[in-house]
């Protein structure tokens, strides 16, 4: 029997990671509660490998979905965010990455200024949004989305 457990469990509020790698299969990175910031990290997994109920920003991160390596044609979903309503303040912001969602009512799926392989949006889901700047700004502005009280400005980067 194959046991699957999160490679990293991020539970507390106000956690930041920079230049870290997270590699697993399913549930690689679990951000259950609170605000989290990932900068220039590498995150790899097969299916639902970024999940939880947190409020997280993934800036300049490399997201590597490896489902196709296990079985050609296999589809692996990157994120499984537990947001339950449009009023829920939790969510994930990926700077330049794509993912697919199941509940269109609780997801805002938009790609803004993406480049590189896979950035052609012509074959994306039909419910993809093109929000005006006033709606997009609170999501892409780290200060408004996760750093309202300035906690991120006070973090120290520790390298192991």
Catalytic positions: 27, 48
What's the CA gap between 33 and 44, in Å, rounded?
21
DSSP structural state of residue 118:
T
Measured at the alpha carbon of residue 80, what is the angle toward residues 156 and 21, in degrees to the nearest 5?
Answer: 40
Helical H segments across the chain, by residue range = 67-70, 133-140, 142-145
**E strands, 75-149, where?**
79-81, 91-94
How many CB atoms within 10 Å of residue 141?
13
């Amino acid at each position: 029997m194959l046991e699957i457990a999160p490679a990293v469990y991020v539970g507390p509020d106000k956690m930041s990671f920079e230049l870290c790698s997270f590699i697993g299969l399913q549930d690689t990175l679990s951000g259950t509660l609170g605000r989290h910031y990932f900068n220039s990290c590498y995150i790899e997994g097969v299916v639902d490998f970024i999940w939880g109920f947190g409020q997280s920003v993934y800036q300049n991160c490399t997201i590597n979905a490896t489902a196709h390596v296990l079985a050609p044609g296999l589809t692996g979903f990157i994120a499984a965010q537990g947001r339950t309503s449009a009023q829920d303040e939790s969510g994930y912001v990926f700077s330049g990455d794509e993912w697919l969602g199941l509940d269109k009512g609780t997801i805002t799926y938009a790609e803004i200024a993406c480049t590189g392989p896979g950035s052609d949006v012509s074959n994306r889901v039909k419910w993809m949004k093109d929000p005006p700047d006033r709606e997009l700004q609170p999501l892409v502005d780290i200060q408004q989305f996760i750093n309202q009280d300035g906690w991120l400005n006070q973090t120290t980067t520790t390298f192991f």
